[in-house]
Chain A
Amino acid sequence: MEPGSRSTILAIALALGVLAALPFAAAALGNPAMTTLATRILIYAIAAASLNLVLGYGGLVSFGHAAFFGIGGYTVGILFHHHRFNEALFGLMLGTDQFLITLPAAILVSGLFAAAIGALALRTAGVQFIMITLAFAQMLFFLFVALKRYGGDDGLIIRRRNGLFDLNMRDDTTFYFVTLVFVVLFFALVWRIVNSRFGLVLGGIRQGERRMAAIGVSTYRYKLAAFVISGMGAGLAGALWANYARFVSPDMMHWTKSGELMVMVILGGAGTLLGPLFGSAALILLETVLAAYTERWQVFLGPILIVIILFFRGGLAGLVDLVRKRP
């Protein structure tokens, strides 16, 4: 999928049409669960697209992205907690349940964590980088397990979704559209970034760091910037998830969650714009469908993933290309 090509624009328009019509179709079919399922897919699409920026475009295999997803979620959860009990946070400020405050806060806090973790992890490369990002994420996981003040491993319940203007956020269809707006904005942002000067440098780093150094690019600062942007995106997804589920727990940061995000990226097509959306949809739909038949659904998920990854090297986005190019 070449970003900017006419077929990509067509695919995006089509996807947008389907997504906008979805809640109405769900209502018509008498199946409102479709809307919440789609909300989950969209939120994970943002998280996967964030990871795709570093993994797919930058070639940086971060195995700890669930950490930023969790940090974003906990930012919303903790702010709500302080708001609800009217306690000062760090003795400084009160909590809040306003979407327009919690969301930027979540993005900012996860960005700060990404800056700190990235600054250290990006001194390494290859397997070491994978391991060190995993280690940092697990450290945060255990930190929140131990943090009894915010529920420990039971997590934090958020009684009400954050308020946004006069919208009825309790309504799942309203929340779906709010999520959709963020998805559109975020994917548009990623599109701009990967085609910018910064994006070209990032893609160059994936393909050959030695070459990039030889043209005078100090790669570390660009990798770090990409890592921070990516962490912020995952934090945004986490904040949306906290509102969607009205619950945050350390499980959001567990390494299996990082693995799920990686599967979504690779399944959908690493380094493609819409791949993470396809990957998120495929994984969550497969999970839902298979789980309806058997408790041991992962036994069936594994082989399906292997087939897709073995036979469609560009992931699902590559499959879409293949089908489209058939005469």
Chain B
Amino acid sequence: MSAILDIRAVVKRFGGLIATDHLSLDVQPGELHALIGPNGAGKTTIINQLMGEIIPDSGEIIFGGEPMAGLKPAARVRRGLGRTFQITQLLPDYTALDHVALAVQAHAGHSFHFFGAARADRRLTGPAMALLERTGLATRAGVKAASLSHGERKQLELAIALAGEPRLLLLDEPMAGLGQVETAQMVDLLKGLKGQIAMLLVEHDMDAVFALADRISVLVYGRCIASGSAAEIQANPDVKTAYLGEGDA
């Protein structure tokens, strides 16, 4: 089977700093590939390059067999990329339902419809409500994003991404800042998606990563220093010194 995502020798420099250093990485269909590494290892930078928000200096990104060079973020999303943000990017005046309905609408085609009342359109609100139920937000559908809790915002990020029916989900620290219960809920949610959607998961919560990932890659200073199963990564001495610390993981 060919990879859904193939990152080939991607390099990105910010002045003297090398954020992505000849990184090669792939995600197989249905696979959950976790990307871990200390702060500043360039994890978010690689997600932003995959989305097209940052342009790599060199190297290639192939998604679904198609080179992504030159495609804007919105075009990549329409080709089946979905992402959640580490720092949630929501629309403060819009309700949870508005967000997901808007994502359903964007996925359904262009939005040059000037007359019908969009908030009363069942073709949008129906699928949106179903997604809110799936992500545990159904009771909060009418609440504006500005009034949602941090955990709810993280869930909403996921619901929005799912509305685009992505083939690959880029999850940028979906557990960051969540409490124990919320983290467990998020892990369950992602487990439920495993196998259906390929995922590239950037996460600091090691328990969550080890519980979810089919494969783990370790990023240090923009380079991949190790890649393998949870057991292999835990046993890898380089990883221990570089990231996991004094062998207590």
Contact = CB atoms under 8 A, between A and B. Distances in A.
Interface stretch (B31-39, B112-120, B211-219): B112-120
B111 interface: yes
Interface stretch (A67-75, A93-101, A116-124, A190-198): A190-198
Interface in A186-209: 192-193, 195-201, 203-204, 207-208
Contacts of B117: 4, 195-196
Interface stretch (B2-10, B70-78, B195-203, B220-228): B70-78
A218 B116 contact: no
A216 interface: yes
A222 interface: yes
- Interface residues on chain B, size class: 35 or more
B84 to A, nearest CB: 9
B113 A197 contact: yes
B33 to A, nearest CB: 20
Given A195-B119, A207-B92, A208-B90, A214 B73 contact: yes
Contacts of A219: 74
Q: Which residue, A196, A199, A214, A222, has most C-beta atoms of chain B within 10 A? A: A214
B94 A193 contact: no
A195 B114 CA distance: 8
A216 B106 contact: yes
Interface string B59-103: 000000000000011110110000101000111111000100111
Contacts of B115: 192-193, 196
A218 B72 contact: yes
B174 interface: no
Name, among A208, A212, A213, the residue most crowded by chain B CB atoms within 10 Å (CB to CB).
A213
Contacts of B90: 208, 211
Nearest to A202: B111
Contacts, number: 96
SS of A interface (majority): helix
Contacts of B140: none
Interface in A91-140: none
Contact of B164 (A197, A199, A216, A225): A216
B77 A193 contact: no
A11 B249 CA distance: 64
B107 interface: yes
Interface size class of A (residues with CB under 8 A): 20 to 34
Contacts of A193: 114-115
A215 B106 CA distance: 7
Contacts of A159: none
Contact of B112 (A192, A200, A215, A225): A225
Given A4-B117, A213-B73, A215-B106, A200 B98 contact: yes
B118 A196 contact: yes
Given A4-B117, A207-B91, A200 B105 contact: yes
Interface string A216-227: 111100100100
Contacts of A196: 113-118
Contacts of B111: 197-198, 200-201, 217, 222
B163 interface: yes
Nearest to A3: B117
Residue of A4, A215, A219 with highest tally of chain B CB at under 10 A: A215
Contact of B113 (A198, A210, A213, A216): A198
Given A192-B114, A208-B90, A213-B77, 11 more contacts: A197-B112, A197-B124, A198-B111, A200-B111, A208-B89, A214-B161, A215-B107, A216-B74, A216-B106, A217-B111, A222-B111
A-B complex: 5 closest residue pairs judged by Cβ atoms: A216-B77, A207-B91, A197-B113, A213-B73, A215-B103
17 contacts: A195-B118, A195-B119, A200-B101, A200-B118, A203-B93, A207-B92, A211-B90, A212-B74, A213-B77, A214-B77, A215-B102, A215-B160, A215-B164, A216-B77, A216-B107, A218-B72, A218-B74
